[in-house]
Each structure stands twice: as C-alpha cells, then as structure tokens.
Amino acid sequence: MQQIFTKRTLFRLSTIFVFIVASILYSCQGQQSSGDGVPVATSAEEKPSGAQLFNINCAQCHKRNEDFTGPALKGVEARWKDKATLYAFIKNSQEVIAKDAYAKGLFDKWKQTYMQPFPQLTDDDIASILTYVNGEQ
C-alpha cells in the first residue's frame, strides 16, 4: 500500500497550519469590537467611551430616542428624583424597586421585568453612557 503523505509532507502541512493560525490570532490582537463597528477598549489604561459602554451594556434592551425592550434613555436623568437613585437603579434595579416609588412604577409599566444589574459599572462609566445617550458625546 502506497503512503499518500510522507512524514516530511505532514510536517510541512502542520507547520503551515500553525503559521496561518498564529498569523490570524496576531492580526486580531487589540482589534476587539462590540459587534457594531465601535471598537472596544483593550487595555486597563484605555477607558471605553460612552458609546462603547452603551453598546456593550445597554443596547440589547434600550435605544437612545425610542422605547424598545426597555424605555428610551435620552433625558433619563430628568425623570429621576436624583442622580444617586438612578445610578443605584442601574447597578441593581431590584434593590431600588423595593424602596423607591418611581422605580416600582417603571417595573410595573414594563411588565414587571427587572433590568439586568450592572454592578461593574462605575459612576464615571454611567456618566459617560448618559452623556452619550443625551447626544453630548
């Protein structure tokens, strides 16, 4: 029986395959995207923009200017009694709904659906998102 591939041929093919995979991985390094063309920050020193944070954390349920799965976000700060309560709601809506009438009203209006908690967002992150949704960025 004749052997189709020699050891030398297999070695060459596997070397080429490893080189191609390594090239693809190297070319993708640092080029992460949120899926809509907005690049995502890739290092700890690079702070993501409000648009990036919105696309990563909010866009699945919210739009800037119209209701979607959740309410439109443009002007959201004016609808809350204070910034601290709004930020607390964004970080953990269930906790705020239990003690705030406005939050409870939103919960009821949106078919008693809790907003996903975002405890990882800092106050600066939330401020960046709100600046973006209000068209100031």
Model pLDDT for residues 81-121, shown as the tens digit of each residue = 999 999 999 999 999 999 999 999 999 999 999 999 999 99
**Cα 95 from chain centre:** 22
Q: What is the pLDDT at residue 13?
A: 77
- How high does pLDDT run on average in the chain? 85
% of the chain with per-residue pLDDT over 90: 64
Cβ contact 29:17 at 8 Å: no
Please, are residues 54 and 133 in contact by the beta-carbon 8 Å criterion?
A: yes
Please determine, for residue 18, whether its predicted confidence score (pLDDT) is greater than 90: no
In the chain, the amino acid numbered 8 is R
Provide the pLDDT for residue 22.
Answer: 72
Interval 9-36 mean pLDDT: 68
Is pLDDT at 62 greater than 80 in this prediction? yes
Provide the pLDDT confidence category of residue 26 given band limits of 50, 70 and 90. low
Taking 70 as the threshold, does the pLDDT of residue 44 lie above it? no
Structure tokens at 126: 């939330």
pTM of the model: 0.66
The CA–CA distances, whole Å, from 93 to 44, 62, 98 equal: 27, 15, 9
pLDDT at 77: 96
> 37: left (phi > 0), else alpha (psi -120 to 50), else beta?
left
For the chain, how many residues are written?
Answer: 137
Q: Is residue 41 over pLDDT 60?
A: no
Tell me 80's DSSP state. Answer: S
To which residue do tokens 């190297």 refer? 26
Task: Look at the alpha carbons of 81, 83, 85, 91 in this order and tell me if their dihedral is positive or negative.
Answer: positive
